[in-house]
Structure 1
Amino acid sequence: MNALDSFRLDGRVAVVTGASGGLGAAAARALADAGATVVVTGRRESHLAAVVESVRAAGGTAHARVLDIAYPAAVREVFAEVAQSHGPLDVLVNNAAQAHQADVLDVGEEDWDRIVDVNLKGSFFASQSFIRHRNTGRSVSIINIASLAAFVGVRGQSAYSASKAGVVGLTRALAVELARSDVRVNALAPGYFATDMPGEVLADEAATAALLRKIPQRRVAKADEIGPPILFLASDASRFMTGAVLNFDGGYTAQ
């Protein structure tokens, strides 16, 4: 078999959470380009429709389901519906995330709960539902989107950093537990991308300049750059990899 064939996802079903824009939408496009049937989920129906349209315009197959990942009952319902409509699931990208820029004394209980509910609890229950409806006939893949904030201190992001560190721990625990079931669980830890989430920083010229001095490549990434590592982790190209965390941050955490 040609080595490039191992990156193909023809006949596979992938679910991407938090896919109404940014990295989730880019991940969905990459998976569809490789041949997967992609189901994008998120809270913004009109944005999901735009992502589906862009995938289909490029010749791919995509569908949308409205979902707030913070509610486990809704997660179970949507995943069961997706599996019934499209068949057993092969790939899950846990991308849905909530951030809140605030000094530690200004973080309220509601802020904390929402961030942890989306970033960590949501990733767990989406993974649980995926496992229940997975394709048991071949190796399947869960990709958890962590963050450089799981490994380095980021001012004003105490709750977000804690949740993403939890995602790393969850990744490793699930990888060990599920290895013999042919379920691979890995994490991708992005750095700064030109998306909505770091918008406050990137909108300020002085703050952007200060940020770029911390990144060895001296740039932020474009959203579509997330596609290749997502495809690697989703496909059989990474079949002997589980429990790994790939830092994808322009060298930020190498310092």
Structure 2
Amino acid sequence: MKLFDLTGRLALVTGSSKGIGLAIAKGLAQAGASIVLNGRDHTALEAARSDLAATGADVYAVSFDVTDAAAVAEAVERIETEIGPIEILFNNAGMQHRAPLQDFPLDAWERLKATNIDSVFFVGQAVARKMIARGHGKIINIASVQSELARPGIAPYTATKGAVKMLTKGMATDWARFGLQVNAIGPGYFVTELNAALVTDPEFSGWLERRTPAGRWGTVDELAGAAVFLASDASSFINGHILYVDGGITSSL
């Protein structure tokens, strides 16, 4: 199991005060990694840090806006100087907005692009520069089944997650020769706060259970194995890959 051991490695997980980001951080910590949690809500971030530290994890909280390039650059420098070299990056920060495409608000479109695409570029580039100088590093972006499939009311979100898929492939193409592995996880439908309205909608949940070969929603802890795999030496020759963790929904009509 040494291939999956992350002991002594520092992982930055953006958008990790709750939901998928926090579940990934917990999985990495269980594999031995030290964790830097990130988010904009200071109270929620400190609560997450305290809870994770109570399990024995070596964990830090650094609040910065991932959609602000200058703030990202400053934060990455601070982490590298005060905590340690970032060897693993999970670009998890993201948002959703549901509305008919013909009525989709412009401000929501701009927020989606900034949160779901700009952040991946800003944080990925800032961290990659450090990794390239060291000759190794792991970057894992959070894509989605919507990187491949569309649904009514979320066309702009689908566009952003398609962009994350292709940015992942582009990062791998540019940076693999420097010793980096850049991949993505594409979650299916998971029980999270972001999906709360869908989880409690009997019609949608019924449709999803029939549509998904596994016949159910995912739970966020089921992302930990994929996260550890892509962050570890076990994936040393995997680059530009999108690992869908979706109960089979992208495999079945």
TM-score, length of structure 1 as denominator length: 0.96
Question: Who is 1:215 aligned against?
Answer: 212
| Deviation (angstroms), 1:115 | 0.3
Unaligned segments of structure 1, at least 5 residues: none
Deviations 1:23-74, CA, capped at 9 Å, x for gaps: 0001111111111111010111121112212221111111111122111111
Provide the rounded CA distance (Å) in 1 between the counterparts of 2:14 and 2:250.
26
Question: Who is 1:13 aligned against?
Answer: 10
Provide the rounded CA distance (Å) in 2 between the counterparts of 1:46 and 1:31.
22
Name the amino acid aligned to 1:153. A
Provide the rounded CA distance (Å) in 1 between the counterparts of 2:223 and 2:93.
15
Name the amino acid aligned to 1:165. G
Provide the rounded CA distance (Å) in 2 between the counterparts of 1:162 and 1:77.
29
Instruction: Please say if residues 88 and 135 of structure 1, whose CA atoms lie closer than 8 Å, have aligned partners that are also in contact.
Output: no
1:249 aligns with 2:246: yes
Q: Secondary structure at the match of 1:69?
A: coil
**How many pairs does the alignment contain?**
252
Q: Secondary structure at the match of 2:38?
A: strand
Question: Who is 2:148 aligned against?
Answer: 151
Unaligned segments of structure 2, at least 5 residues: none
Name the amino acid aligned to 1:250. G
Superposition pairs of residues 18-167 of structure 1, within 5 angstroms = 18-134=15-131, 136-137=133-134, 139-167=136-164
Q: Secondary structure at the match of 2:32?
A: coil
| Deviation (angstroms), 1:182 | 0.5
| Deviation (angstroms), 1:19 | 0.3
Aligned-CA RMSD value: 1.2
Name the amino acid aligned to 2:181. R
Q: Greater shift after overlay, 197-206 or 238-247?
A: 197-206
Question: Who is 2:195 aligned against?
Answer: 198
Instruction: Please say if residues 208 and 217 of structure 2, whose CA atoms lie closer than 8 Å, have aligned partners that are also in contact.
Output: no
Q: Secondary structure at the match of 1:91?
A: strand
1:169 aligns with 2:166: yes
TM-score, length of structure 2 as denominator length: 0.97
Which residue of the other structure, out of 229, 234, 251, is the alignment partner of 2:231? 234
Percent identity between the two aligned chains: 37
